[in-house]
Chain A
């Protein structure tokens, strides 16, 4: 076996293995699109085929939008994820700046609590937070979906680490110009931290767009449903009958994030693997 021979062989083997794996990873997506494009009779046939004989994507989408108020649910998803992200930044950035650049009594304790907070899984506080929202009469509202996540200790940690790398000179120069500490956070630190804020934003939006556990617990009303809850309800109400519209609905729900991901893969991968640090 000569060297010249073995190199292309290995390259081909690499592609063969990776393509086989990729087919496995993509199978659910392909099957989802295929099923969403088939009429009922083709879905319930024991003969497997990928390409529909008769294209029914438009019909299935129309039925999905007619049976569930998908636009409303997508809008809910946007409202909730954006609110959470904006509030997280409003709370975390000032704290992160103080922890990184200011000296005050209790700073070390606060930072230790932030680090400790990162270790607490979200399910751990569910029962007490639920009881609190119940007492406050806030269950089944946007507030119930947003309030518990306004504090992101992980966000504080991440921003604090980033602010540490911002030169003190920049902060001092701003003080010379008479900018208040509060002004420094928003007019000096925020612009400097845009890459970190973007990464955190992607992390936060993806996590809360996809979250099922919390909305499931606090919501009752149909009009407040978030996208994952909407798919789950769609599935339960159409149990085993209309797979075409169900797959069409699943497609609609995953589309916004998947499309955004395909356009900005590098940023998304960066943002989501931040959880790795968590």
Chain B
């Protein structure tokens, strides 16, 4: 400890003076520390913090890739953005996607975790099966889903027809396309949430259930309401926020399956950003969309860190 405080002193005092007053190994260790963190600090500046500042700065310019010069245009990008119907459609679709996928994937994840944990047999087999979609490359599975949703030869419509129900052109129909993407999103996220819930369930002390039983909570529902749900509260909020942030970033399935169509019914924020920034190379405008996206994600992150401060720790 004392050695440490000396080292801090050494860095604060001009180097020549420090040499004379401190044992050599202390200052050498300080130099080592700087040598050790320099690559990471430099890369962090170049690849993360710099670009973050850059994206905000860019959003106030009319920069286009390949254009000879650019100028500062103040809030014009944002004015254009807020006047653009496509942007509002994208924002609405993104929010709809989040509002469907988050409850869907959280409730299903919790239900599966509770079911798995309520017995002892085949636990790890079930866990493996439900986790499989989290592992599998989403793009590859999206292509499989597309074929399952094929209007004529797909599995889904085949089953519906077999049951005497009406079939749909899922991804080609503007009234169903977003819901189809939501279903894929839920399918992919459930296993991840399940694992987080399982970890939460394991950490609930057994005595609480025994105490609840003594107090007359005999039904499974009563035990859930009195013990499991309150004890799981922090994990649940955490899972909700994580799922929210991830759903906000939805892109892969949209880009490969619908390109935002039909007639913009599945256009989402990151897809609009991608189209503007990397297909039309309107970097400034894409930067403005990125900033809007960042605001939403950081709001959710803020909620998460607030909760972490209240004593929920996962490390």
Name the one of A48, A119, A147 contacting B47, with C-beta atoms under 8 angstroms: A147
Check: A258 CB closer than 8 A to any chain B CB. yes
A1 CB-CB contact with B under 8 Å = no
In the complex, which residues of chain B have a beta carbon less than 8 angstroms from the beta carbon of A102? 7, 29-30, 32-33, 36
- How far is the CB of A212 from the nearest CB of chain B, in Å? 5
Q: Which residue of B lies closest to A180 (CB)?
A: B32
Return chain B residues, CB-CB under 8 Å to A125. Answer: 47-48, 51-52, 54-55
Does B40 lie within 8 Å of A132, measured CB to CB? no
B181 interfacial contact with A, CB 8 Å: no
Q: A48-B159, A92-B40, A104-B34 are in contact. Are A265 and B124 (CB under 8 A)?
A: yes
SS of A interface (majority):
helix
Contacts between chains A and B (CB distance < 8 A), count:
289
Given contacts A91-B40, A129-B51, A209-B137, A32 and B144 within 8 Å (CB-CB): yes
A66 touches B (CB below 8 Å): no
CB of B155 within 8 A of CB of A18, answer no
Contact B124 A243 (CB under 8 A): no
Query: Which residues, 39 to 60 on B, are CB-close (under 8 Å) to A?
Result: 39-41, 43-44, 46-52, 54-55, 58
CB distance from A94 to the nearest CB of B (A): 4
Q: Which of B's residues lie within 8 Å of A, judged by CB?
A: 4-5, 7-8, 11-12, 29-30, 32-37, 39-41, 43-44, 46-52, 54-55, 58, 65, 108, 112, 115-116, 118-119, 121-122, 124, 126-141, 143-148, 152-153, 155, 158-159, 162, 187, 190-192, 195-196, 199, 238, 242, 245, 249, 251-252, 255-256, 270, 273-274, 277-278, 283, 286-287, 290, 293-294, 297-298, 301, 314-315
Residue of A nearest to B245 (CB): A121
Q: Which residue of B lies closest to A253 (CB)?
A: B140
B147 near A31: Cβ-Cβ < 8 Å:
yes
Give the bracket for the number of chain A residues in contact with chain B. 35 or more
Among A126, A185, A235, the residue within 8 A (CB) of B290 is A126
CA distance A17 to B115 in the complex (A): 8
User: Counting CB contacts under 8 A, is A97 at the interface?
Assistant: yes
**B137 near A228: Cβ-Cβ < 8 Å:** yes
Are A268 and B135 in contact, with the CB atoms below 8 A? Answer: yes
User: Given A104-B11, A182-B36: A276 and B196 within 8 A (CB)?
Assistant: yes
* Interface residue from B49, B121, B290, B297 paired with A127 (Cβ < 8 Å): B290
As a 0/1 sequence over residues 94 to 114 of chain A, the CB contacts with chain B under 8 angstroms (1 = contact) are 110111001111010010011
The residues of B that contact A99 with a CB separation of less than 8 Å are 37
- Min distance, Cβ B159 to any Cβ of chain A, angstroms: 7
A28 in contact with B148 given A18-B112, A102-B33, A181-B32 (CB within 8 Å): yes
Partner of A31 from B52, B155, B270 at Cβ < 8 Å: B155
Question: Is A262 an interface position by the 8 A CB rule?
Answer: yes
Give 1 or 0 for each of A218-234: 1 = CB within 8 Å of chain B CB.
00000000011101100
Task: Find out whether the CB atom of B249 lies under 8 angstroms from the CB atom of A121.
Answer: yes
Given known contacts A103-B7, A265-B131, A273 and B48 CB-to-CB distance under 8 angstroms? no
10 extra interface residue pairs, beta carbon distance < 8 Å, beyond A105-B8, A127-B286, A273-B195: A91-B43, A98-B33, A121-B293, A121-B297, A131-B65, A181-B33, A228-B137, A228-B139, A232-B139, A250-B141
